[in-house]
Amino acid sequence: MENKKELRNWLDAFNLDHPLVIAGPCSAETEEQVLKIAHELKDTDATVFRAGIWKPRTRPGMFEGVGALGLKWLQKAKEETGMLTTTEVANPNHVELALKHDVDILWIGARTTVSPFNIQEIAEALKGTDKTVLIKNPVNPDLALWLGAVERFYTQDVKNLGVIHRGFSTYEKTRYRNNPEWQVAVDLQNEFPDLPLILDPSHIAGRRDIIFDLCQTGLDLNYDGIMVETHYDPDNAWSDAKQQITPSQLVQIMKDLKIRKEEG
């Protein structure tokens, strides 16, 4: 990635006067759930609707996502609300299906970013497309591994790229589900200032009550956007119930955040 200027500026094209907001449930559960949440987000600052359909659960036996069926629900959410859509892809088959169903933005999960083989085949499956790909940090705080994933996409000519900071695993008991280790993301930002950097406070926190504070810290550090898990009934969500917030709580957070304007 010698010429960082060649990264395409997909985010500027959105022409937003606030940080990019990606919102929606951890998992697509039913068609009704997807559409209800998308409609509740429609007139908020959220530009992109997220919902995971293939869920990389740490241990088996939990809800592992609705699979390809959910792609139709995402398509419907887009048609009905005009929001862009994003979902996680973890292999070339997911990529093929997501492209076929017009998912606007693909994200790479933390458990996928750790695997260069996996990343390489996903990047090759996207070669020559102009899809935007957002790459979550690997589960371990390894900046080189994170950058390596970005570079693997870049060298396949996938140049609409961004990164998502979702925190890092630790065996210690802390207030976070995944330690933010802000310095790792700041180092990445220093190395690639043109790469949009998005905060995922939901997976860092693992709980609702510190989502606002994390968002504020991210914006103070000049992050370009946030991705917040949002559900109309968070307590009964099929995955990540403790960390999801309602669309109206997200609206309140956006009102309360001090958003730093670009200098100069």
Which residues of the chain form contacts with Mn ion (CB under 5 A)?
A: 26, 240
Please say which residue, 111 or 159, places its beta carbon nearer to ligand PEP: 111
Residue 136 binding target from Mn ion, ligand PEP, none, CB below 5 to 8 Å by type: ligand PEP
Residue 56 binding target from ligand PEP, Mn ion, none, CB below 5 to 8 Å by type: ligand PEP
Residue 110 binding target from ligand PEP, Mn ion, none, CB below 5 to 8 Å by type: ligand PEP
Please say which residue, 47 or 202, places its beta carbon nearer to ligand PEP: 202
Please state, in angstroms and rounded to a whole number, the distance separating the CA atoms of residues 244 and 237.
8
Question: If binding is defined by CB under 6 A, does position 136 make contact with ligand PEP?
Answer: yes
Please state, in angstroms and rounded to a whole number, the distance separating the CA atoms of residues 46 and 161.
19
Question: If binding is defined by CB under 6 A, does position 152 make contact with ligand PEP?
Answer: no
Question: If binding is defined by CB under 6 A, does position 25 make contact with ligand PEP?
Answer: no
Note the maximum CA span of the chain. 52
For ligand PEP, which stretch binds (CB under 6 A), given 60-68, 70-78, 108-116, 168-176? 108-116
- Scan residues 156-215 and list those touching ligand PEP (CB under 6 A): 166, 203
Q: Please choose, from the candidates 222, 225, 209, the residue with its C-alpha nearest in 3D space to the C-alpha of residue 261.
A: 222
Please state, in angstroms and rounded to a whole number, the distance separating the CA atoms of residues 180 and 20.
20
CB pairs under 8 A, 24+ apart, for 177-180?
Answer: 177/203, 177/204, 177/205, 177/206, 177/207, 177/243, 178/139, 178/203, 178/204, 178/206, 179/141, 179/204, 180/204, 180/214, 180/217
Q: Which residues bind ligand PEP (CB under 6 A)?
A: 26, 52, 56, 109-111, 136, 166, 203
